[in-house]
Amino acid sequence: MTGRSGGRPPRVAIWGHYHGGNLGDEVVVSTIAANLRRRLPSVSLVGVSQSPRDTEERHGMPALPLRWAAERLTSGGPPQHPTGSKVKERLTKRSDHRGVREARRLAARVRDLGAEAAFLRRSLQRLDDIDLIVVAGSGPVSDDWRGPWSHPYTIFKWSLLARLKGVPFAFLGVGAGPIDHRLSRYLLAGPLRWAAFRSVRDEASADLVRGLGVRGPMSVVPDLAISLPVPDGGWPRPGATDGQVRVGLNPIPYMDRRYWPAVDDERYAAYVAKVADYAEWVLTGGRRLVFVYSQTGVDPLVCDDVLALLAERLDPALLEQVERPLIDTVDDLLEALAGCDYVVAGRFHCILLPYLIGRPAIGMSYHAKTDALMDYMGQSDLCFDVDAFSAADLVSASQRVEQSTEDIGDVVGERLPALRATLSDHYEHLIDTVGLARDDTTQRAFSAT
């Protein structure tokens, strides 16, 4: 056994803004873990996440907090500061005084700065036996969620900690953009330049990263979830069994003030109305409607909004043809998708995962990543812009899918092996580039799966 771990089994941290609620993020973590374990049987994996306790339960690996606030979600928790709590309690009693309110805000900022400094010290110590930090795909190189002090700052500080410790920091198949703030560009450019390994999931991300002034090797690879190990076969379409077509529907909180970073009530209402129009066609045509989702906290609320419109239009007997499976894990999501003949989806991974189990997908695309994925799969004619599509577009696409399901499956099936092979080589390239120790018995040749 050789490599930077000095003879002991390598220890790799899978780093990201994952927390259990977004199954798209979780499937990427699962995929990286499975592929590293396959190539490095003795590897020790640790998560770095926003909810360490959830990561431990969901992925079966110990986890570190991504931010100091997340330390409360570990079994140990952060050091407590009773004196600060008493000060806050005394100030709260006088919250009606403007000067006191300003003092409270200042005290909170000072407290947070102190907590952040202490967290950085602890995190630096936690990297003592880490041999590699892998940024786990998805779309972290962006600032549309709460600006520069969210994703950009978190990437910057962990990259800097890794640099201080001499731990390789790798961006693996990440998505990039949008990046709207000058400070975000600064905070992201440094980590991308310092990275020991860089790859992105589409050309648009590559162009954005190069636009930050990042030079050097950078690969463009398919989304990592395409390399998720799934059983071959064993996913019969339910419509082929009982004759009733089941349509998976994944509405998303597009422009919804309960979730989306940009808010537009009229566009959200128009989107939900179009989805409900399509769902009405599904149900009145004798099909079953299956709601599926990968954002477990918010997507079900959009399903509620769609159902509320349907309840105003349809006989209650038709609404009995609606299924709402409980989805909390990646396995739950795969099982729900397998229970559909095809899927109409807004979420990226609710479009990708059906391909892995032989299901056609129709996309309501809000991001270039979806366009790129469906182009990869030869399915661009089934991809519609989230603002521009109509219910009639989805109906027409559904009719084409129902008439040519086998042909679509053949096209996707022909492309998947090459994409999986690309990703297989990519994991090998990562391991060799950062110098992770291999077991002497580990073979470097892997067949694409």
Q: Is the peptide bond before 82 cis (omega within 30 degrees of 0)?
A: no
Residue 104, classed as helix, strand or coil, is helix
The mean pLDDT value for 374-396 works out to 97
Span 391-407, mean pLDDT? 94
* pLDDT, tens only, 52-87: 999 999 999 999 999 988 776 554 444 444 334 444
pLDDT tens string 384-394: 999 999 999 99
pLDDT band at residue 108 under the 50/70/90 scheme: low
* DSSP characters over 211-271: HTT--S--EE---GGGG----SS----HHHHHS--EEEEE---TT-TTT-SS--HHHHHHH
How many residues comprise the chain? 449
Quick one: pLDDT at residue 232?
73
Query: Is residue 446 scored above 50 in pLDDT?
Result: no
What does the pLDDT look like over 256-299, one tens digit per residue? 999 999 999 999 999 999 999 999 999 999 999 999 999 999 99
Q: Return the pLDDT at 231.
A: 79
- In this structure, the strands spanning 246-250 and 342-345 are parallel
Share of the chain above pLDDT 70, in %: 86
Query: How far, in Å, CA of 437 to CA of 417, rounded?
Result: 28
Higher-scoring residue by pLDDT: 165, 111: 165
* pLDDT of the residue at 68: 85
Place 182 in a pLDDT band, splitting at 50, 70 and 90.
very high
Measure the CA–CA gap between 420 and 440, rounded to whole angstroms.
Answer: 25
Domains and CATH numbers, the chain: 11-227+421-434 (3.40.50.11930), 238-411 (3.40.50.2000)
Q: Mean pLDDT for the chain?
A: 89
* 115-134 mean pLDDT: 96
How far apart, in whole angstroms, are the C-alpha atoms of residue 5 and residue 8? 6
